[in-house]
Amino acid sequence: MPGTVLLTGFEPFGGDPINPSWEVARQLDGCVLAGGQRVQALQLPCVFSTAWPMLRQAIEAGPAPSLVMALGLAASRTELCVERVALNWVDARIPDNAGEQPLDQPILPGAPLAWRSRLPVKAMVQAMQAVGAPAAVSYTAGTFVCNQLLFLLSDYLEQHPGLRGGFMHVPPFAHQAGQGGVPLGQQTRAVQAALEAALAQQHDAALVGGTLD
């Protein structure tokens, strides 16, 4: 029986009036994907101490979702990026929305240095490109709240092997970044395509997706 996809986005931070990650998630709230799963959107605070507890509570509130996908804004990027790696490290360049600014410390002391995504990240990128969106595999989720959320979600997934999840960074909208922005409609179609690819494929596509530097 088709289940739900829990799709999260963050509230605005860093002085921006909107956060594209939440605007995209909100557009997809209630959408029925190709496999029959219904999207449930959730806005998370851009706060180190509360983002993960809120997501975990949502995961455990009812039947386990078919997929958990968190979205976050990467203001300097021009592509939708599926994150391959979560680093066990936080080094906040700016304070979060609660004024917290942890520097140079592990997220979970004693945990592995990093967790690797088990989603078909290259197939997800291919699906987004197929609907006309700029997309790529990313090997760094930063050292701010986004990466912390991905690491804690990944650690949770290791303890709940029946659950699947991951993280995608989205770029600014066109009106936020001029020529480098990607419109809301294009981002929304791309994220829907990526979700459907993640649900449909257990194994990744054999495609070039690495970097030289």
Residues annotated as catalytic (active site), given as ranges: 83, 146, 169
Contact between residue 2 and residue 65 where contact means Cβ atoms under 8 Å apart = no
b (16+ CB within 10 A) / e for 71-93: bbbbeebebbbbbbbbbbebebe
Instruction: Fill in the DSSP letter of residue 37.
Output: P
Residue 15, C-beta contacts closer than 8 angstroms, at least 6 positions apart = none
Token code pair at residue 174:
């066109």
CA–CA separation, 208 and 211 (whole Å): 9
Give start and end residues of each alpha helix (H) in the chain: 20-28, 51-60, 121-130, 145-159, 174-177, 184-200
Instruction: Write down the residue that tokens 């530097």 correspond to.
Output: 213
